[in-house]
Structure 1
């Protein structure tokens, strides 16, 4: 955590999607976050990795039955400190987006 925290548009998008999911008592996986924010996999997973390094989210792998052959999904949840940051940062950086930073559904769908 010694290096500075770079705040980018994709990071704010992912935070808003995580807050929206939290408010609906959901734990999204990477693909659903990608769809909600309209960003590519490498972008979203890079942001998720950063947020996990910062301690703002935790990720857990799903358990699959032995007879299921699809890849496991990783589900993400905001930590208590991450919830505070995930609401405050977009509200500070994107005050004109109104309710999105407060956890309302994202424009065009999502949670």
Structure 2
């Protein structure tokens, strides 16, 4: 199952995930790296996970001892890495004229 529509926030989140595709990352960390509001990141993460592009797990930590809620960590699957790279390459091909070599135009 694929992700039907590649919006700018989805592309920004993919770029953040692909910066280090084998590392598990939590939502707030990804939001900060992508330059997005945390509330907009979580629905995208759910869509990517439902599409098979991400796998996730909840950390095994005592929330009281840590002084914060448990985090859900996300990591790209092999399918997600391939699909993400394809989506970013396609977006670069469609970029506005006059933008530098393959940079995202937003």
Q: TM-score, normalised by structure 2?
A: 0.79
Distance in 2 of aligned mates of 1:72 and 1:31: 12
Secondary structure in structure 1 of the residue aligned to 2:57: strand
CA drift at 1:42? 1.6
Residue of structure 1 in register with 2:45 after alignment? 48
18, 28, 31: which is aligned to 2:28?
A: 31
- Kindly tell me the number of residue pairs found equivalent between the two proteins: 95
Distance in 2 of aligned mates of 1:49 and 1:42: 12
CA drift at 1:86? 0.9
Structure 2 residue 67 is the aligned partner of structure 1 residue 61: no
Distance in 2 of aligned mates of 1:72 and 1:85: 29
Give the number of the structure with larger relative contact order, counting CA–CA contacts within 8 Å between residues 6 or more apart.
1
Segments of structure 2 that go 5 or more residues without pairing to the other structure are 94-101
Structure 2 residue 5 is the aligned partner of structure 1 residue 6: yes
More helix by share: 1
Segments of structure 1 that go 5 or more residues without pairing to the other structure are 99-111
Contact 1:21 1:28 in 2 (8 A): no
- 1:63-102 mapped onto 2 (5 Å cutoff): 63-65=60-62, 67-95=65-93, 96-97=102-103
Task: Could you list the structure 1 runs, at least 4 aligned residues long, displaced by more than 6 angstroms after superposition.
Answer: none
Secondary structure in structure 2 of the residue aligned to 1:76: strand
Q: TM-score, normalised by structure 1?
A: 0.76
Return the index of the structure with the highest Cα Rg: 2
> What RMSD, in angstroms, separates the aligned Cα atoms of the two structures?
2.0
